[in-house]
Amino acid sequence: MKNFWQKLKKPILCLAPMADVTDCAFRQIIAKYGKPDIFWTEFVSADGLAHSIAREKLLIDLKYGENERPIVAQVFGSNVENIRTASALCREFGFDGIDINMGCPDKAVEKQCSGAAMIKNPKLAREVIRAAIESGGGLPISVKTRIGYNPPTPKSFGRASKNENYLLDEEWIKTLLGENLAALTVHLRTRKEMSDVPAHWDLMKRIVEIRDEMGVDTLILGNGDIVSTDDARRKCLETGCDGVMLGRAIFGNPWLFAKHTSPQPSPYKGEGVKHKLEVMVEHTKLFEKMLGGPPAGGKNFATMKKHYKAYVNGFDGAKELRMKLMETENASQVEEIVREFIAL
């Protein structure tokens, strides 16, 4: 099976997986208006996928379209056997790669010794990666993580705290790079920092140096506080990383990657508020069709509403329009309210 990572042109710009945001409906909108180099699914529990009853409820998070390729399934889990099962399923479902989340700070995820908790258990992390490689049937395996778990204090770290790299857990990065990964994405904050401080992009050069010193071929991607594709390109040039993962910048802006990957002009014609609202309605209809209730799988319509805060912003009447949209229960109501607003 071919490793799609090796065919990508640098810099690699991709969309970050975000729970209850980058679902298949939103990815379809992005694929149409500005496709990134790679798509990820929302992360899915390997434990759930390994059990037939729970699996049925999770399959909705693994829906994708052929126009999303290359598409990577992201999973999390600490049970090695369940990782094997989940990896085999991802191959069976036709994904182009498997990514293991070792950076999520959610307490419920960490209680399962998964996500960022893996940073504190490198031995288990190695076992999980090897299980995915062995059962993935040749699919390239990648990991998304953070620079470390706890920011060290000057008292505990001594003089080394004056070193610009003191926040970086180099041993953790070396552990991951020693496992034959196709790619490693590093969110440039510690787990304890959450997203409460600026991302430490000054540490990326050292991460790249570690990779080069080890002589491995793993691609290095950075994540955190990237506001545009131009900003992403600058970060790659400045730090030497192979690519960047953009997350929050996509909210309300499905055209984010348009100039990066498409030789053709984006379908977005710059028609301002009217066109943006029309795309929001298109997105809502697609969400309802693909994800909204039985038999599609049943995601709550409220999940869609977080997008309205981003789409409906920065123009006269936006606040009042948002308030109306927050009261809606289906796509028809959203379309009617938007039509009335555009007609004003």
pLDDT tens, residue by residue, 190-224? 999 998 899 999 999 999 999 999 999 999 999 99
**Residue 158 confidence (pLDDT):** 42
d(CA 67, CA 28): 8
| DSSP3 helix / strand / coil % (the chain, rounded to 5) | 50, 15, 40
DSSP assignment letter at 12: E
d(CA 324, CA 257): 30
Q: Place 1 in a pLDDT band, splitting at 50, 70 and 90.
A: low
d(CA 73, CA 67): 15
Q: Place 267 in a pLDDT band, splitting at 50, 70 and 90.
A: low
Q: Considering Cα of 49, then 55, then 58, then 63, what sign does the dihedral take?
A: positive
265 pLDDT higher than 70: no
Q: Apex CA 115: angle with CA 187 and CA 135, to 5°?
A: 105
Per-residue tokens: 267: 């379908």
6 pLDDT higher than 60: yes
Q: pLDDT digits over 87-115, tens only?
A: 999 999 999 999 999 999 999 999 999 99
Domain ranges of the chain: 4-261, 273-343
d(CA 138, CA 344): 56
Per-residue tokens: 177: 């790079």
Q: Place 153 in a pLDDT band, splitting at 50, 70 and 90.
A: low
CATH tag, 4-261: 3.20.20.70
Q: Is 113 a catalytic residue?
A: no
Q: pLDDT digits over 178-187, tens only?
A: 999 999 999 9
d(CA 16, CA 251): 11
Q: Taking each helix axis from N to C terminus, what angle separates 302-311 and 318-325, rounded to the nearest 10 degrees?
A: 170
Query: What are residue 102's DSSP bridge partners?
Result: 145
3-class DSSP state of 222:
strand
d(CA 194, CA 63): 29
Task: From the candidates 24, 104, 236, 241, give the one annotated as an active-site residue.
Answer: 104
Q: Place 59 in a pLDDT band, splitting at 50, 70 and 90.
A: confident
Mean pLDDT computed over every residue of the chain:
90
d(CA 21, CA 17): 8
Strands 44-45 and 39-40: unpaired
Q: Taking each helix axis from N to C terminus, what angle separates 273-291 and 302-311, rounded to the nearest 10 degrees?
A: 170
Q: Place 165 in a pLDDT band, splitting at 50, 70 and 90.
A: confident
| Phi, psi (degrees; rounded to nearest 5) at 281 | -65, -40
d(CA 128, CA 277): 44
**Residue 62 confidence (pLDDT):** 93
Q: Apex CA 37: angle with CA 231 and CA 292, to 5°?
A: 105
270 pLDDT higher than 70: no
Contact status, residue 103 vs residue 187, Cβ threshold 8 Å: yes
